[in-house]
Amino acid sequence: MKLTFIGNGNMAKALIKGLMETCTIEVLGRNEKSLNILQKELPQIITRVIEDNEDITGKNIILCVKPYSLPDLAPKLSGIANSLYSVLAGTSIESLKSHIQAKNYVRTMPNLGASYLKSMTTLTGDEELKHHAINIFDKIGTSLWLNSENELDIATGVAGSGPAYLALIAESLADGAVKAGLKRKDAQEIVAGLFDSFAPLIENENPALIKDSVMSPAGTTAAGYAALERGNVRNAMIEAVSDAYAKALELKQKN
């Protein structure tokens, strides 16, 4: 399958790296210098500067610009794309339709894990594209079709933003280890290993049961866990997801 990326930033690069072995990739951007750097790094893809009258007829587009760039970009595009997959946070299908013409539309919310084929991607949109969309995004990890855009806006604050939240946890756990006396390099390696150990656990078990099976009476985990509760970490996580959802809704009003 041939895919045309519009935008060559962080998310586009993660997706391209994940998809380039199985798809033919064309990348359209506006910055020649950054396109040339990408082209050098990934010689098997095609990159070029977008034309002022770029014909997208029949193309399968993966739209990877920031939501606020859509009004600048849209007038440059002509024709009717075959499919439009948008990664834009808080940008509804209705808004996409008003800017770019395509036969079918899907909103997707991947994450940076795509570059290691480990994205958790949520999808929603025209049922006609459901099978194709799952097929594409399953190549770069796990994908889940949701039944409404509202659910996708909620998922944005979990899996789309999630790497940033988990990065904060990883960094602070390493800081704790360094504070207690471990070398930074060792602390980092231990935390990376911890995430690796945790991935199959969370895939197969309920989080509450994982916690119960680590925590022994009056033990080290119970002491550490109590500190997390004192620090209100649970509530902060709940609020992180609900504030991200609120921001997605706010963006929707603007876009």
Ligand X SMILES: NC(=O)c1ccc[n+]([C@@H]2O[C@H](COP(=O)([O-])OP(=O)(O)OC[C@H]3O[C@@H](n4cnc5c(N)ncnc54)[C@H](OP(=O)(O)O)[C@@H]3O)[C@@H](O)[C@H]2O)c1
* Residues at the contact surface with ligand X, assessed by CB under 6 A: 6-12, 29-31, 34, 50, 64-67, 69, 72-73, 87-89, 109-112, 160
Residue (112 or 187) nearer to ligand X, CB:
112
Element (H or E) spanning 83, and its range?
Answer: strand 81-86
DSSP β-bridge partners for residue 189: none
Tell me the residue nearest to ligand X as measured from the CB: 9
Residue (30 or 99) nearer to ligand X, CB:
30
In degrees, rounded to 5, the angle at the alpha carbon of residue 54 between the alpha carbons of residues 48 and 59 is 85
Supply the DSSP string of 164-221, one letter for each residue. HHHHHHHHHHHHHHHHHT--HHHHHHHHHHHHHHHHHHHHHS-HHHHHHHH--TT-HH
Nearest approach, Cβ of 52 to ligand X (angstroms)?
A: 11
Nearest approach, Cβ of 248 to ligand X (angstroms)?
A: 9
Nearest approach, Cβ of 35 to ligand X (angstroms)?
A: 9
- Residue pair 108/60 in contact (Cβ under 8 Å)? The answer is no
Residue (31 or 216) nearer to ligand X, CB:
31
Q: How many other CB atoms are found less than 10 A from the CB of residue 6?
A: 26
Q: Which of 158, 176, 174, 154 is nearest to 237 (CA)?
A: 158
Q: Output DSSP code: residue 160.
A: I
Residue (187 or 248) nearer to ligand X, CB:
248
Nearest approach, Cβ of 33 to ligand X (angstroms)?
A: 9
Residue (109 or 136) nearer to ligand X, CB:
109
Nearest approach, Cβ of 67 to ligand X (angstroms)?
A: 5
Q: State how far the alpha carbon of 206 is from the alpha carbons of 33, 151, 242, in Å.
A: 47, 22, 22
